[in-house]
Structures are given as C-alpha cells and as structure tokens.
Amino acid sequence: MDASPPPAGLPGARLFDVTGDVVIVTGGGNGIGAVYSRRLAEAGARIVVADIDRNAAEAVAGKVREAGGMALAVAVDIADESAATSMAAAAEAEFGRIDALVNNAGLMSELGRRAWHEIDVAEWDRVMAVNLRGLFLCCRAVYPYMRRQGRGKIVNISSGRVFEGTPYRLHYTTSKAGVVGFTRALAREVGGDNICVNAVAPGLTLSGAQATTSPPEYVLDYDRGRSLRRSQYPDDLVGAVVFLVSRASDFITGQTLNVDGGHAMH
C-alpha cells in the first residue's frame, strides 16, 4: 500500500486538457468513432484512427489534419493478434507514446435483429471475436507502452442494452455485457501500473449506420423512454469519453458510465 501524501492535484484549467495526448480510437473511421476522433483532435489530442475500413480511417485522419490537428490512419482487424500489435507499434512509431485507447470498434449495425435461436453459429463466433477478443488484443497491445509511461487510460465501449436486456441481437448484447466484466477485472489487474480502465454504455445512438438501419418506430419508442426527451447522437457521447481520457478521471477505474439521456438507470 502506498503511504505517500495525497497528490497535489492539477490546476482546474488543466483537468480536462488532453492537449498532446496520443489516443487510439478503434473503429474510428465511421459512425460514433469518427466523431470521437474528430472531437478529441479538436480538443488537442493526437489521434490514431484505427479501422478495418482503411479508406474510412484515412478519410477521417485526413480531415483532422486539414483542420490543423494531428492524426495517423491505421488499417487493422482488431480480432487479429498481430494486427492489433502492429497498430500499437505504429502509434508509438509515429507519436512516441500511447496515452489512451478508446475501444470503440464493434460489430453491431451489420447484424440483423432476429430471434436468439435463429442466430448463425459463425456469426455468433465473429461477434465474440471482434467485440471481446478484439478488446482483449487491443488492451494487451497497448499495455507495454502504458506500463512504461506509468499511466494510461482505456475506455471500452459497452451498450445500454446490457442494463435493459434488449432482445434480438443476443450475441451482441452478450458481448457488450462481457465488456463490463472485462472492464472491472482488468481495472484491478492494471491499477498498480496507474492505468485506468472504464466503460461507456451508449443508449440507442443515431450514428451513420444505426440511423439508417433502425426502424423509425423502434427509435421513437426508445426516445419516449428517455428522461431527456430526444434522440441521441454521437456528439452526446463525446463528453464522457473526453472525461475518461483526461486527468479529471484519474481516480476513477472499473466503472461503466451510462450515457443515454436517462433511459436505463444504473
């Protein structure tokens, strides 16, 4: 146990300052991940846009650079061990460090909504491979760099479905529940390295693909159940992610922050 005096604390103005931080955003090429990438860059972070969709990653990194920010595009299938390792190595080679990893990539919008007993076994396995093994591999890939630096921030993207038991994508909901358990257990394992691991659970968010594939009546019904009575958009999630990347959350770990306009209460 550390018996040292309490840390001095940062000046208030620097608490949420992510200037110069190197942040990897997986799935950063499309949807909500593209918004995390752009907004974190606007806040001054240096961004690694990592996505299986190379063109999308390059387009987002290009937009960040055009706007005066710093960004690197990396093509990666996070379910692949060597690709995840190369992603972290590329980030370090370009920017010299890795301060944060936002584990946002996931299989969701391309999955049909169907009864649990109609889910194909191969699709079940691929969802677990991307949404859980990918999470594990990306964390493992950045760990040596964060440990060496003596600090790091990992933000895992779960889903409000976990708290609501939302049906018809059973593999997806199960994988996102796994993200919560993973977050808690990993937080305990890497706390001694001063690495914080937290999760964000978005509610139904009208991101690119989700906006076009969600039946309008489903969206309307969900929106009626929010305390804040409107639809949710990717920008609604940015504040929580910036907070969990920033120094303002330095003593918070193992937690899951629900961001859904007050739909599920957890």
Per-residue contact flags (x/-) with ligand NAD for residues 7 to 46, judged by CB under 6 A: -------------------xx-xxxxx-------------
Q: Which long-range contacts (CB under 8 A, 24 or more apart) does 64-71 make?
A: 64/37, 64/38, 67/38, 67/41, 67/42, 69/41, 69/42, 69/44, 70/41, 70/46, 70/95, 71/37, 71/41, 71/46, 71/47
Site for ligand NAD in 186-245 (CB under 6 A): 202, 204-205, 207-210
The only residue of 77, 94, 123, 250 in contact with ligand NAD, by rule CB under 6 A: 77
- Candidate list 36, 145, 172, 222, residue with the active-site label: 172
Could you tell me which stretch among 51-59, 65-73, 142-150, 242-250 binds ligand NAD (CB under 6 A)? 51-59
- DSSP letter at 6 equals P
Beta strands in 122-248 (DSSP E): 152-157, 195-202
Verify binding: residue 255, ligand NAD, rule CB under 6 A. Answer: no
The helix/strand count (H/E) of the chain reads as 10, 7
Task: Report how many residues bind ligand NAD under the rule CB under 6 A.
Answer: 32
- Told to judge if 36 belongs to the known catalytic residues of this protein, a careful annotator would answer no
Distance CA 121, CA 14 (A): 49
Q: By C-beta, is 22 or 35 nearer to ligand NAD?
A: 35
Residues of this chain that bind ligand NAD (CB under 6 A): 26-27, 29-33, 51-53, 56, 76-79, 104-109, 130, 134, 157, 159, 202, 204-205, 207-210
What positions carry a catalytic annotation?
172
